[in-house]
Amino acid sequence: MTTLSERILRAPAGEYVDRRVDRAYVHDGTGVLTLETLKALNSGEIAFPNRTYILFDHIIPANNSITAELQHELRDFACSGTLHFSDIGGGICHQLMSEGEALPGEIIVGADSHTCTLGAFGAFATGIGATDMAAIWASGSTWFRVPETIGIWLSGRLCGSSEAKDLALTYVSHLGMDGATYRALEFVGDGSTHLSMDSRLTLCNLAVETGAKTGMFYADSVTRRYLETFGQIITPQEPASSHYEQELGFELDDIVPVIAVPPRVDTVRPASDLCGIPLDQVFVGTCTNGRYEDLSRFASIVKGRKVKIRTIVAPASRMVLENAIRTGILSDIVNAGCTVIPPGCGPCLGAHMGVIGKGETCLSTSNRNFINRMGVGGEIYLSSVSTAAASSLAGEIALPGGDV
């Protein structure tokens, strides 16, 4: 039986295919090089503007005059045509694409490695570079090698303070940083059907940290209800008993809060082993954990209390921010002493708004803890939102409530 990737790409694993792309997006970081290459290919003509997106999220607002100049050129181009454009403050590209754009069965490419996030909708969504993107903007299609698939079987339900992020870091540690290179991940089994869209997006987001092309869920009633709120009516995908190259299984009830220690995402330890490690900064947000469910969870823990260390919170999109304002959780976060920054990638890639200094340690809800990523000489631990909230209040790594 065919895997979801084989079904969408319409060919068996291992084959090379040329396929029309349904949606293609860049951000302010990768868009500059994409535009430069597009001009070299065909003087800047986009074949299918209605399937093309330029979404500013990486360094917003611009941090210096060089960035501003590069963004100015890309913004002028974005505004000159009919393509989709989101300026500063709109939100993270993957999040915006998850708000009623990406649909089941589509082929989606993004000039950012975490495009795999959108596999949560049952789409084949994968990251590419700027040159590939320019060729897609010019032609509307590209080549793919149909990936083999690793099946990740989930059973039971997450409980206590454990989150999808804890499961994500756990599966990354099982596969390793290259355990799924050239492959796709499929999350299947009874346990997968209980997970919210926000949780599925978090799980698919970390697929690339195992080297995978994408991580995927079958679109089901959860997907349908979520997309309905954005006015999209979809038909769920019928899961097949697929042939997987490799299979892993996780009992969700057994998942405990975990942390990836610097400088590798696949070096994961129980959070309980790391309690007491002093922190200088906590960062909550990113395409991994900046959604409403994440902010709501964070707010419920810090509400009425004060954080002990500098804590930066970045909503993943304007919609997430608006919802957080409307329900009052943003006030809880601000009143707890946190600094809220504009919807976007924030300090995740070490460019601005929370760069850490030499000798400093940050606990982040993001997806990468590589050497010097958030600042030269700084170290990054990766955790769930609940662990980040508890640690923010303690000023050191601490377990979320109820977990001892």
Partner 1 sequence: MRIEGHAICLPADIDTDLIIAGRYLRTKDRNIWATHVFEDLDPSLARKLKGAIIVAGKNFGCGSSREQAALALKEAGVAGIIAPTFARIFFRNAINNGIPLAEAELPCQSGEQVTIDLSSGMVQSGSCTRNIRPLSPDMLDILAAGGLVEWWRQRR
> What is the greatest pairwise CA distance in the chain?
61
Contacting residue, 8, 13, 24, 29, with partner 1 by CB under 8 A: 29
230 binds partner 1 (CB under 8 A): no
CA contacts within 13 A on the Cβ side of 85: 15
| Residue 176 contacts residue 266 (beta carbons within 8 Å) | yes
59 binds partner 1 (CB under 8 A): yes
Q: Could you tell me which residues are beta bridge partners of residue 185?
A: 150, 215
User: Read out DSSP for 225-256?
Assistant: HHHHTTT---PPPPP-----SEEEEEEGGG--
Segment interacting with partner 1 (CB under 8 A) among 34-42, 49-57, 153-161, 254-262: 34-42
Look-up: residue for tokens 């454990």?
Answer: 162
Contacting residue, 3, 5, 30, 192, with partner 1 by CB under 8 A: 30
Strand order in the sheet with 124-127: 84-86, 52-55, 23-27, 107-110, 124-127
**In whole angstroms, how close is the CB of 203 to partner 1 at the nearest point?**
19
Contacting residue, 100, 129, 140, 342, with partner 1 by CB under 8 A: 129
| Residue 4 contacts residue 237 (beta carbons within 8 Å) | yes
How do 268-270 and 258-260 pair as beta strands?
antiparallel
Structure tokens at 118: 């959108």
70 binds partner 1 (CB under 8 A): yes
371 binds partner 1 (CB under 8 A): yes
41 binds partner 1 (CB under 8 A): yes
32 binds partner 1 (CB under 8 A): yes
130 binds partner 1 (CB under 8 A): yes
Site for partner 1 in 189-208 (CB under 8 A): none
131 binds partner 1 (CB under 8 A): yes
Nearer to partner 1, 77 or 292 (CB): 77
Contacting residue, 9, 13, 118, 135, with partner 1 by CB under 8 A: 135
270 three-class SS? strand
**In whole angstroms, how close is the CB of 113 to partner 1 at the nearest point?**
4
Segment interacting with partner 1 (CB under 8 A) among 4-12, 26-34, 78-86, 156-164: 26-34
Site for partner 1 in 293-352 (CB under 8 A): 349-351
The span from the CA of 169 to the CA of 271, in Å, is 12
186 three-class SS? strand
The span from the CA of 48 to the CA of 27, in Å, is 17
Classify the C-alpha dihedral 337-341-347-348 as positive or negative. positive
Nearer to partner 1, 79 or 371 (CB): 371
398 binds partner 1 (CB under 8 A): no
Helix and strand numbers (H, E) in the chain are: 14, 18
The span from the CA of 378 to the CA of 337, in Å, is 23
92 binds partner 1 (CB under 8 A): no
178 binds partner 1 (CB under 8 A): yes
Q: Give the interface size with partner 1 as a residue count (CB under 8 A).
A: 42
Which chain residues interact with partner 1 by CB under 8 A?
Answer: 16, 29-30, 32-33, 36-37, 40-41, 59, 66-67, 70, 111-113, 127-132, 135, 138, 143, 145, 177-178, 181-182, 211, 213, 264, 349-351, 368, 370-373, 376
